């Protein structure tokens, strides 16, 4: 039976407000788990929530990340109109901005029967399938999460989708950042995901022209639904 997941596209969303919104949903799911017994929620209840958004320019550093992977000062951050947050996900530093699909799955993994490792692999697989539809060959990198192009060539490997998650009580937060029409210049101010020797890319760069981000969102929703075995229900208010 397909798992029911509520979906909402937040459009352009301030990073801090989106983070607080995730926390609200996370607390809702965990409260339901405690009320009904872990893994025993009513069969008709939601297995989670999926949020899409784009953020204004912002850098985020994961809990195990190094501060020196941000290569600019506070004054320069203000000059380029970017915010900076240290947050509670895994991974190191990354950038979010316009033209990037940011996905926040807040899933009860017990309802899906998934480990955190399998969950991350499913996110990667949905991105890989979406890129395949545009003739972009991508894959995983053994030493890091996310989706990469030319992952087997150390001189050409470049990341097109970053993944950084938090899981507590088998409920997930944070998620993925998929570069579609992203301004890649903003990545020059950091060591992306802590790497000093690997680049980043976007669909626009690889295909030579801006892409229809709304169409890509629809394809990605289909692929996420297929990989996770879920049915997305449009939800205007969570």
In 3D space, the residue among 45, 43, 63, 27 whose CA is nearest the CA of residue 171 turns out to be 27
Cα distance between residue 36 and residue 171, in whole Å: 15
Cα distance between residue 130 and residue 127, in whole Å: 5
Query: 47, 82, 127, 193: which is the annotated catalytic residue?
Result: 193
193 is a catalytic site residue = yes
Cα distance between residue 219 and residue 108, in whole Å: 23
Q: What are phi and psi of 6, to 5 degrees?
A: -85, 135
Sorted by sequence, the CB contacts under 8 Å of residue 130 that are 6+ apart come out as 216, 219, 220, 223
For the annotated catalytic residues, the residue numbers are 193
């Amino acid at each position: 039976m397909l798992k029911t997941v509520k979906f909402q596209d937040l459009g352009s969303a301030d990073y801090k407000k989106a983070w607080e919104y995730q926390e609200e949903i996370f607390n809702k799911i965990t409260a339901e788990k405690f009320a009904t017994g872990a893994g025993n929620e009513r069969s008709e209840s939601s297995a989670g929530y999926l949020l899409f958004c784009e953020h204004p320019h912002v850098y985020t550093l994961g809990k195990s990340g190094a501060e020196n992977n941000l290569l600019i000062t506070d004054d320069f951050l203000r000059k380029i109109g970017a915010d900076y947050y240290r947050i509670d996900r895994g991974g190191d530093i990354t950038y979010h901005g316009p033209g990037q699909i940011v996905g926040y799955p807040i899933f009860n993994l017990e309802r899906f029967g998934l480990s955190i490792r399998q969950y991350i692999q499913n996110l990667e697989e949905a991105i890989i399938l979406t890129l395949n539809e545009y003739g972009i060959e991508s894959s995983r990198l053994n030493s890091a999460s996310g989706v990469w192009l030319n992952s087997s060539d150390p001189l050409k490997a470049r990341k097109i989708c970053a993944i950084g998650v938090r899981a507590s009580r088998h409920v997930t937060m944070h998620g993925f950042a998929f570069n579609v029409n992203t301004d890649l210049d903003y990545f020059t101010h950091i060591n992306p995901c802590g790497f000093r020797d690997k680049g980043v890319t976007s669909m626009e760069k690889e295909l030579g022209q801006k892409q229809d981000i709304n169409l890509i969102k629809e394809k990605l929703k289909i692929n996420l639904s297929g990989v996770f075995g879920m049915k997305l229900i449009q939800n205007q208010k969570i």
